[in-house]
Amino acid sequence: MRYLDTCDRCLTEDSKAIPPSVVVPTGPGAVLATYHCPRCRTTWVCGWGVQEDEAAA
């Protein structure tokens, strides 16, 4: 899974990285991923460079 991130608000050593709920392209080679923490329900966004699926390459 691409663009996994962890919640800054309730981050612990046991926190699992979660996948984004939405990924939108923001420019050449760049995307903006939106996350919803299942634990504290905060929402955040993170910009990424595009990560290609190896299987699809």
25 versus 41: smaller Cβ distance to Zn ion: 41
Distances in whole angstroms, Cα of residue 31 to Cα of each of 14, 45, 47: 27, 10, 6
Minimum separation from the CB atom of position 26 to Zn ion (A): 24
Minimum separation from the CB atom of position 34 to Zn ion (A): 14
Minimum separation from the CB atom of position 45 to Zn ion (A): 14
- Kindly list the residues in this chain that would bind Zn ion in the complex (CB under 5 A): 7, 9-10, 37, 39-40
Dist CA 16 CA 13 (whole Å):
9
